[in-house]
A and B are shown apart, each in its own frame.
Chain A
Amino acid sequence: MITVTNLKKRFGENIVLNGVDLHVNRGDVLAIIGPSGSGKSTLLRCLNLLEMPDEGIIEIGDTKVDVTKMSRKETHLLRQETAMVFQNYNLFKNKTALQNVTESLIVAKKMDKQEAERIGKELLIKVGLEDKFHQYPATLSGGQQQRVGIARALAVNPHAILFDEPTSALDPEWVSEVLQVIKNIAQQKTTMIIVTHEMKFAEEVANRVIFMADGNIVEENEPKEIFHNPKNPRTKQFLKTLERDE
């Protein structure tokens, strides 16, 4: 479903992904945890080519590319295999909630407007925004904006949804509603990769967890094992630091 081989990325001298190998099965919910700066966001952003990796082979759904010899067409195709939910929502500020969701359907998928709106409304209802169709992002709370962001990602019916710390920018009062929506989607066997600092949530929602440090995948296992019986010293240390902070 998703297979990443030897993915490398550096920013100048700074090696951020040091030959990452990754495999995600259909319906998997993969959580990525790790200290700040370990390359979690970069890994996610390399999967949809918002960052251009320096080396590596990425296969998602029906598209397989070698990033060193990738055409514009392939870039575009690979991007269409996934959708992303951003830390800062990144909603289109000039569009209503509904238009945020239908935009890609109308513009990229050339769907007719009525059909797009039908799907858009369905998805907004699914994330609990049945009464916000025609409101602009500026009039929505953080939690509502992020739920629009999730509906927008669902709209393109992607092979996988990439979440980059979807609740980190939220006021604490909105976190649980967003996590709940993500859990609901996870239960419907949507393939997801979630970078998160919410360890409890990761444990509940994921069926696999990756611990990253310094651009490498250090440990990979079921949530129960990672969180309660970590093998690698770095994982142990990371989890201990978190406990201490709590």
Chain B
Amino acid sequence: MEFKLDFGYLVEIIPELLSFIPLTLFLAVISMIFAIIGGLILALIIRSNIPVLKQLATIYISFFRAIPTLVQLFLIYYGLPQIFPAFTAMTAITAAIVGLSLKQAAFLAEIFRAALNSVDKGQVEACLSVGMTRAQAFRRIVLPQATRNAIPATSNVFIGLIKETSLAFTLGVVELFAQGKILAASSLKFFETYLALALLYWFLIIIFTLIQQTLEKRMEKPYIS
């Protein structure tokens, strides 16, 4: 059988696929927010050198960096309810968000730690020397500079996260990828459908990259001589 690209079909399904982008973005953004909070807490614990807590944080990071996302999602969604029946009520979307956040928090912790360390401690000493507290120094001087240092790597994590939301389909969430699969199965136009999907993910990442560049440019301002 000769293959002929059905361009019309590709264009036709795009609006339908587009309507799933909000869910994909929702999964990515919410997971990212939790991951940022978690990552920051982990990074601060590791920097603080509090005994026990620091070891626990290190183990956490090592574990969640190591296991495949799929294994982790299945562990949470199918595994946990067997031990803790309360988790049976957890929806697939919640499970996906929890799984993705827990994992990306581990990656972000490393990024944040490095970004915080890259702000030289002389600036903190300068804060203390003019009567500011450590907390004030952190909030006003260290955090803004660390944020700027962390943006490129953090953006990569977010791009990864957008793509990984497609794994939520394995838990039964009908998001962008799952909808693509459904369409492909009924039309049997696999190439067109998955190409449309690929283009949509590409489009999402391009938009995000533009936002990132604007943000970076704005934050660069103080540092350009």
Q: Counting CB contacts under 8 A, is A88 at the interface?
A: yes
B129 touches A139 (CB 8 A): no
A103, A137, A149, A156: most-surrounded residue (chain B CB, <10 A):
A103
Choose from B131, B136, B148 the contact partner of A80 (Cβ within 8 Å). Answer: B131
Q: What is the interface size of chain B, counting residues whose CB is below 8 A from a CB of the partner?
A: 23
Main secondary structure of the interface of B (DSSP, over half): helix
Across the two chains, which residue of chain B brings its CB closest to A161?
Answer: B129
Across the two chains, which residue of chain B brings its CB closest to A100?
Answer: B126
Q: How far is the CA of A139 from the CA of B149 in the complex (A)?
A: 19
B131 touches A108 (CB 8 A): yes
Binary contact readout A88-100 vs B (1 if CB under 8 angstroms, 0 otherwise): 1011111110000
Category for how many chain A residues contact B: 20 to 34
Q: Counting CB contacts under 8 A, is B130 at the interface?
A: yes
A94 touches B145 (CB 8 A): yes
In the bound complex, residues from chain A placing their C-beta under 8 Å from that of B140 are: 92, 103, 107
Binding site for A on B (CB under 8 A): 120, 122-123, 125-133, 136, 140-141, 144-145, 148, 221-225
* 28 A-B pairs whose Cβ atoms sit less than 8 Å apart in the complex: A48-B128, A50-B128, A79-B129, A80-B131, A83-B130, A84-B130, A86-B122, A86-B126, A86-B129, A90-B126, A92-B123, A93-B222, A93-B223, A94-B144, A94-B145, A94-B222, A95-B222, A103-B127, A103-B132, A103-B140, A103-B141, A108-B130, A108-B131, A108-B133, A136-B222, A139-B225, A152-B130, A156-B131
Binding site for B on A (CB under 8 A): 48-50, 76, 79-80, 82-84, 86, 88, 90-96, 103-104, 107-109, 136-139, 149, 152-153, 155-156, 162
